[in-house]
């Protein structure tokens, strides 16, 4: 144990008492967006983009990074914007990928139809069990 560790313990104990000796979560870096900027981000996401103004038909994190830089002159990474959106209560939605040349009408023609797993048997369709000796069998 080094002298620096002991100094850190003493400083934490003096600042917070015995609770200061319990290892807690590191405070991390300072947030890039303040409360007002977060509210503006939430408002713009909820209202959705206007294609004529914003140039997009749906918001992506990449588009929101550009919007934040244009509005507030704050450079952020896409993952940071994703964390901010998650903290604001938004969930990431992604559309199911579709091939650009897919034709829905032709796809219907190639869909396989399976027979139902269970069918009611017809009356009298069960035959009496036969013996391997070749003669009729008697019921017990």
Segments making up each domain of the chain, as ranges: 32-92
**Per-range mean pLDDT, top range of 39-48, 86-95, 123-132:** 39-48
Distance CA 88, CA 41 (A): 9
* Percent of the chain residues past pLDDT 70, beyond the cut: 86
Burial class (CB in 10 A: 0-12, 13-18, 19+), 3: exposed
- Token readout for 97 is 């990928």
Instruction: Please give the pLDDT value at position 21.
Output: 75
Three-state DSSP class for residue 24: coil
Q: Model confidence at 36, in pLDDT bands (50, 70, 90)? A: very high
Distance CA 30, CA 86 (A): 17
Distance CA 39, CA 2 (A): 46
* Whether CATH 3.10.520 fits 32-92: no
Instruction: Please give the pLDDT value at position 134.
Output: 63
- Token readout for 46 is 């909820």
């Amino acid at each position: 144990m080094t002298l620096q560790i002991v100094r850190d313990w003493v400083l934490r104990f003096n600042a917070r008492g015995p609770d200061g000796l319990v290892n807690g979560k590191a405070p991390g870096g300072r947030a890039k967006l303040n409360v007002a900027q977060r509210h503006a981000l939430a408002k713009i996401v909820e209202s959705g983009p206007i294609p004529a103004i914003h140039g997009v038909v749906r918001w992506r994190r990449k588009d929101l990074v550009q919007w934040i830089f244009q509005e507030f002159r704050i450079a952020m990474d896409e993952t940071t914007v994703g964390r901010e959106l998650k903290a604001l209560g938004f969930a990431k939605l992604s559309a199911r990928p579709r091939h650009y040349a897919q034709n829905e009408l032709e796809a219907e023609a190639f869909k396989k139809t399976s027979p139902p797993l269970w069918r009611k048997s017809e009356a009298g369709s069960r035959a009496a069990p036969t013996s391997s000796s070749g003669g009729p069998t008697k019921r017990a």
